[in-house]
């Protein structure tokens, strides 16, 4: 038997690996963990081929095999070693490849012979994530209601707690180990009472995504100095200008939607869109009301700059980003004054 366990969440991936190993070897007497960065492939082959004590199936969990650097830099040799390892697994034993840093199995695993069982460490989102927070709080000896659990999720993972973004490149899945630690910290702080909104506001720091929101809100409000300060910090932290530009363009789209839906409830708009949380939609609507340009004009400007970048008139994403920030901070142009981007 061959099993491949991957992330993106390390905690869930490790729990999946442990659960599968214990199902085969409940007392763990025949389970061996090997770090492939410190062991040669022939050593792993020897271990998985050895008979276990008392005739029970042997479980060998190998971590970092596919993510370790190749010894000679040749991918073909690494593929050959993987095939040799998979072919050496006896039918009665279990080889588990544990790769928590990989988001998905590689093609070599999907097409491997014999077939490989694939287990994912995919973290829950949305309602399932809130239920997990409530259960974790219960295990920590306290309680947290659904609304407070949602505030916690939005504070730590504001953009991705409820669903994956349409572009996987910008996905930052909930870190379940981090979330468990925060729940346990809140449980200690609130003892003997339940976790409340005030505990979260006082004890949970806003993450990098909160700085992104401050940048977006300052940009759309025309506060160029504040927007520039937040942008500098984001770039220093390693954020990609293309990603920030995409988010500012998305903000312009949401502002146009908000301006045309003034009488509709923000929760309803967010649910219909399916790409933004109600609290974020409320913030966008507030920005739309304070914005100097009409929402339609902002959307036209954003579309023109995006088109200029894609057609090569603007060379770099950071240049397009700065132009969009300046355009959103400018007063409304006079009728018939047009702009060229």
Is the residue at 340 inside a domain?
Answer: no
Same domain as 138, residue 224: no
CATH number at residue 302: 1.20.272.10
pLDDT surpassing 50 at residue 335? no
Q: What is the model's pLDDT at position 88?
A: 87
Mark whether 41 and 145 lie in a shared domain. no
End-of-domain residue from the set 203, 228, 262? 203
pLDDT value of residue 251: 81
Residue 173 lies inside a defined structural domain of this protein: yes
pLDDT at residue 340, rounded to an integer: 46
Dmax (CA) of the chain: 88
Q: Are residues 148 and 229 in the same domain?
A: no
Q: Does residue 332 register a pLDDT over 80? A: no
Strand partners, 97: 4, 62
Does 192 score more than 70 pLDDT?
A: yes
Q: Residue 184 above 90 pLDDT?
A: yes
Residue 186 has pLDDT above 90, yes or no: yes
Q: What is the CA radius of gyration of the chain?
A: 26
Same domain for 20 and 88, yes or no, is: yes
CA dihedral of 140, 171, 12, 114, whole degrees rounded to 10 = 170
Q: Mean pLDDT throughout 104-123?
A: 89
Q: What is the mean pLDDT of the chain?
A: 82
Would you state the pLDDT for residue 163? 85
The whole-number pLDDT of residue 261 equals 65
Q: Quick one: average pLDDT of 168-181?
A: 85
| pLDDT at res. 207 | 54
Confidence check: pLDDT of 257 > 80: no
- pLDDT given at position 54: 67
Q: For residue 95, is it within any domain?
A: yes
- Other CB atoms within a 10 A radius of the CB of residue 71 amount to 11
Q: How confident is the model at residue 232 (pLDDT cuts 50, 70, 90)?
A: confident
How many CB atoms are located within 10 Å of the residue 139 CB?
Answer: 11
Tell me: the pLDDT tens digits for 10-46?
999 999 999 999 999 898 888 999 998 888 888 998 8
- Same domain? For 227 and 303 the reply is yes
Written as one string, the DSSP assignment of 4-72 is EEEEE-HHHHHHHHHHHHHHH-TT-TTEEEEEGGGS-HHHHHHHHHSPPGGGPPPEEEEESTTTSPPSS
One domain, residues 322 and 213: yes
At residue 97, the pLDDT reads 95
Look at residue 337 and tell me whether its pLDDT is greater than 50.
no
**pLDDT on residue 101:** 86
Q: Is 217 a domain residue?
A: yes
In this prediction, residue 270 carries a pLDDT of: 65
Task: Identify whether residues 45 and 81 lie together within a single domain.
Answer: yes
Q: Quick check: helix, strand or coil at residue 146?
A: helix
Q: Tell me the CB-side half-sphere exposure of residue 311, using CA atoms within 13 A.
A: 8
- 69-78, 201-210, 280-289: the lowest-pLDDT one: 69-78
Q: Say yes or no to pLDDT of 334 above 50.
A: no
Q: Within 10 Å of residue 101's Cβ, how many Cβ atoms?
A: 13
Predicted confidence at residue 338, as pLDDT, reads: 45
Query: Could you tell me if residue 339 is inside a domain?
Result: no
Grade residue 172 by pLDDT with cuts at 50, 70 and 90: confident
Reading across the β-sheet that carries 94-99, which strands appear in turn?
31-35, 59-63, 94-99, 2-8, 117-121
Question: What are 314's two structure tokens?
Answer: 């603007």
Evaluate whether residue 90 is within a structural domain.
yes
Please identify, among 168, 203, 238, the residue that sits at the C-terminal boundary of a domain. Answer: 203
Domain boundary among 121, 155, 172: 121
| Best CA proximity match to 36, nearest among 70, 71, 68 | 68
Asked whether residue 337 is assigned to any structural domain, the reply reads no
Q: How far from 245 is each of 168, 190, 287, 326, CA to CA, in Å?
A: 16, 40, 17, 13
Region 284-288: mean pLDDT is 65
Domain count of the chain? 3
Q: What is the per-residue pLDDT for 291?
A: 57
Are 25 and 90 in the same domain? yes
Q: How confident is the model at residue 170 (pLDDT cuts 50, 70, 90)?
A: low
Residues 87 and 154 in one domain: no
Q: Is residue 338 part of a domain?
A: no
Q: For residues 32 and 106, state if they share a domain.
A: yes
pLDDT at 103 over 90: no
**Residue 97: in which H helix or E strand, if any?**
strand 94-99
In this model, does residue 285 exceed pLDDT 80?
A: no
Residues 22 and 116 in one domain: yes
Do 198 and 296 lie in one domain? The reply is no
Joined tokens for residue 265 = 């409830």
Could you list the residue range(s) of the whole structural domain that residue 81 is in?
Answer: 2-121
Q: Encoding tokens for residue 113? A: 């012979």
Q: Is the model's pLDDT at 275 over the cut of 80?
A: no
């Amino acid at each position: 038997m061959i099993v491949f366990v991957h992330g993106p969440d390390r905690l869930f991936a490790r729990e999946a690996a442990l659960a599968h190993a214990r199902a085969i070897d409940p007392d763990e007497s025949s389970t061996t963990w090997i770090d492939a960065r410190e062991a040669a492939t022939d050593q792993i082959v020897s271990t998985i081929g050895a008979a276990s004590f008392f005739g029970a199936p042997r479980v060998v969990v190998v971590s970092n095999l596919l993510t370790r650097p190749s010894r000679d830099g040749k991918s073909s040799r690494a593929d050959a070693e993987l095939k040799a390892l998979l072919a050496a697994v006896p039918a009665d034993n279990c080889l588990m490849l544990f790769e928590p840093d990989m988001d998905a199995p590689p093609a070599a695993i999907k097409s491997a012979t014999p077939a490989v069982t694939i287990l994912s460490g995919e973290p829950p989102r949305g309602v399932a994530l809130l239920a997990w927070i409530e259960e974790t709080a219960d295990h920590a000896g306290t309680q947290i209601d659904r609304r407070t659990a949602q505030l916690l999720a939005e504070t730590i993972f504001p953009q991705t707690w409820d669903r994956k973004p349409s572009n996987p490149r910008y996905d930052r899945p909930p870190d379940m180990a981090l979330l468990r630690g925060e729940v346990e910290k809140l449980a200690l702080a609130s003892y003997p009472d339940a976790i409340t909104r005030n505990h979260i506001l006082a004890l949970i720091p806003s993450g990098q995504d909160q700085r992104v929101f401050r940048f977006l809100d300052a940009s759309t409000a025309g506060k160029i100095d504040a927007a520039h300060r937040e942008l500098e910090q984001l770039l220093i932290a390693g954020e990609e200008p293309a990603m920030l530009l995409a988010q500012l363009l998305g903000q312009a789209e949401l502002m146009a939607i908000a301006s045309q839906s003034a009488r509709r409830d923000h929760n309803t708009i967010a649910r219909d869109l399916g790409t933004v949380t109600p609290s974020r939609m409320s913030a966008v609507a507030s920005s739309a009301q304070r914005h100097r340009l009409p929402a339609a004009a902002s959307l036209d400007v954003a579309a023109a700059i995006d088109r200029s970048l894609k057609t090569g008139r603007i060379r770099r994403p950071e240049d397009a980003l700065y132009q969009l920030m300046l355009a959103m901070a400018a007063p409304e142009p006079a009728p018939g004054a047009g702009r060229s981007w």
